Chain A
C-alpha cells in the first residue's frame, strides 16, 4: 500500500544541516497496522508527514496505492490527501469555532459533496466513534478523549484507505488512550484500513501488527 524507498530528509539552515531521515525504506501492506517508535527527535513525525504528503523528502521515492508521488502538482497532492489519506494528530487540530459536526464535514467540503450528504456522512462517522450525541457541541466543550474521537471521525468520514496517526493517545490518560486505540483497531480489522501510528507507548505499539523503530533518522528495527 505504501512503499518508501531510500527516503532522506535534510533540514538546512544557513549554518546547520540536520539529517532527519537517513535512507528509510519501508513496505506497508494493505490492511496493515504499523506503529513507529523511537525517542523524541528521531524523525518519526517527519516520516509520517512524508507518508502523508504533508512534507517532501530530500531524496528517495514514495509510492502510495500504486501511484508514484513525485512531480505531483499542489492540486494533485491535495486531491490525493483528500481522497486517500486520513490524519489524526496528537493535539487533535480541531477548529474551535466550528461545531463537532462541521469539523467532521471538513474533508468533504473540499470534495464538493453537497450539504445534505456531508451531514449524513459526518453523522455516520460520529456514530462510529460513539459521539452521535455531541453533534452541536464545540470542541472546547469536550474532553480530550472526545476531541480525539472527533478527530478520528474527521479522518474516516471520507473513507480513506490509509490513516496516519501521530501520537493519537499522547495527550490522553491510559483509559482514554485505550478507548482510542480500540477504535483504531476496530477500523483496521473491520474496514481493512491501513494505519500507520507514531507512538511513544510500548503497550499501544504492541497491539499493532508491526513495529518499526527509528533512531537518529535511521531505521533500527
Chain B
C-alpha cells in the first residue's frame, strides 16, 4: 500500500504543494520556538554553581582615585578596610562592571595551539571573590597571593571553555595566547549562571585584579549579613558611607537576587510573546490543514466510493487518507529538517548542537501529531461515506 500512496501523492504533487508549504512553515516556527525552549530548559536544569543571596553590587562610577599606582592601591585598601569595619559587611571584592546578572559584557578571544575561542566573558575579581560568590572549583585552585610573582598572569576558566578548548585534557598550567605574554590557567570552575536561570552564560574566564586594573574598576561585590540583606536602613547607611569614601561619584547599590529575577523576567518575556504568536500560527495552520484535507476528501468522494466497491473497508479508507497526510507531511519535514540541520552545522547563535537536535526531534514529532489530529476526523468522515452515495455523486 505504501508504494501506492507514494505514487498517488507524487502524481498529485502540484495539488499538494500548498499543504507542503503550510506544513513546512509550521515546522520552521515550531523549530524556532522549541530551539529556544530546549536551550532555556537545558540552562535551567544546570546547577547555579554560585550563590548570589545577600550579595550586593556596588558601583561608584566617576570616583576619582590618586594617579600614582602605589597611592591608588593604598587608597583602595583604606576604602576596603573602612567598609569591612562595618559589622554587617562580611566580605567584599573589587569587580569589573560585568557583575553577575548585569547587562554589561566584557568579552575576549583566546587561542591555544592554533585553536581560538571567541566571545569569552572575562570577569575580574580579587582572591576572595570565589568565596564571596561561592564558585565551585573543579580542577586546580583559585587565585592567591602567590600568583603575584608569576611571569604569566593567572586565569581560572569555566568548564565549558575547558571542554571547548581542551576536551578531556587537563588545562592546568597551560598558557592561553603567547608563551611569554599569555595567561596561565590555574583552575577550572563549574560554569556559574551569571546570565540567570534561562540564558546560557557562554564561555567564562576569571582574571585576578591587579594594580593596573584599579584605575578603571568601579564596581565592588559585597556580601552582607543575612540579617540586613533586605534592610533599607543599612542600605542607606552604606550609601552614605560610600558617598563619603567616593565623593562626587555616582553610587548605585543593586541586590544580585533582584537582578537575577529581572534577568529571568527579561528572558521569559520574548518566549511568552513568541509562544503566543506561535500558538496563533499553529491554530491557523491546523485549521488550514484541516480545511485543505477536508476539501481534498470531498473532491475525492468518487475515488473513495470506487475503492470501497473494489474491496476497501472503511478503516482502509481512513488509513489511506491519514497515511497520505503523513507522507505529505514527511515531504515537508524532509525539506524543513534540511534547513534546520544547517543551524547546528553552522553553529548559529552558539546554541549547542544537542539543543538543536532535540528541537528538531520535538518539532518533527509535533508536526506528525498535528497532521494526525487534522487528518483523523476528515479521514473518519470519508470512511463513513456509503459507497453507493459516493459513486452516485460523480
Contacts and interface: CB of A to CB of B under 8 A. Distances in A.
A99 B227 CA distance: 84
Contacts of A111: 311
Contacts of B306: 93, 95, 106
A208 B55 CA distance: 102
A81 interface: yes
A52 B309 contact: yes
A186 B3 CA distance: 34
Contacts of B315: 74-75
A203 B394 CA distance: 27
Nearest to B300: A95
Contacts of A93: 302-303, 305-306, 309, 391, 394
Contact of B391 (A75, A89, A102, A154): A89
A30 interface: no
Chain B binding surface SS class = helix
A85 B313 CA distance: 15
A106 B308 CA distance: 11
A10 interface: no
Nearest to A110: B311
A78 B303 contact: no
Nearest to A109: B4
A54 interface: yes
Nearest to B13: A97
Given A54-B308, A95-B306, A107-B311, A78 B12 contact: no
Contact of B314 (A74, A107, A115): A74
A91 B310 contact: no
A109 B309 contact: no
A171 to B, nearest CB: 12
A98 B388 contact: no
Interface residues of B, number: 27
Contacts of A109: 1, 4
Interface in A70-109: 74-75, 78-79, 81-83, 87, 89, 91, 93, 95, 97-98, 102, 106-107, 109
A89 B316 CA distance: 22
B391 A74 contact: no
B1 A49 contact: no
Q: Interface size class for chain A? A: 20 to 34
A82 B391 contact: no
A106 B391 contact: no
Interface in B289-318: 302-303, 305-316
Contacts of A107: 310-311
B11 interface: yes
Nearest to A115: B3
Given A93-B394, A109-B4, A110-B316, A87 B309 contact: yes
A194 interface: no
Nearest to A95: B303
Contact of B310 (A97, A98, A106, A115): A106
B311 A98 contact: no
A78 B383 CA distance: 12
A139 to B, nearest CB: 12
B75 interface: no
Contacts of A74: 313-315
Contacts of B1: 109
B386 interface: yes
Interface in B91-150: none
A148 interface: no
Given A93-B306, A109-B4, A110-B311, 15 more contacts: A45-B392, A46-B388, A52-B309, A75-B315, A78-B311, A81-B309, A93-B302, A95-B8, A95-B303, A95-B306, A97-B8, A98-B8, A98-B11, A106-B307, A110-B312
Interface of A: 45-46, 49, 52, 54-55, 74-75, 78-79, 81-83, 87, 89, 91, 93, 95, 97-98, 102, 106-107, 109-111, 115, 154
14 contacts: A45-B392, A54-B305, A54-B391, A55-B387, A55-B388, A74-B313, A78-B316, A82-B311, A87-B310, A89-B391, A93-B309, A93-B394, A102-B4, A107-B311
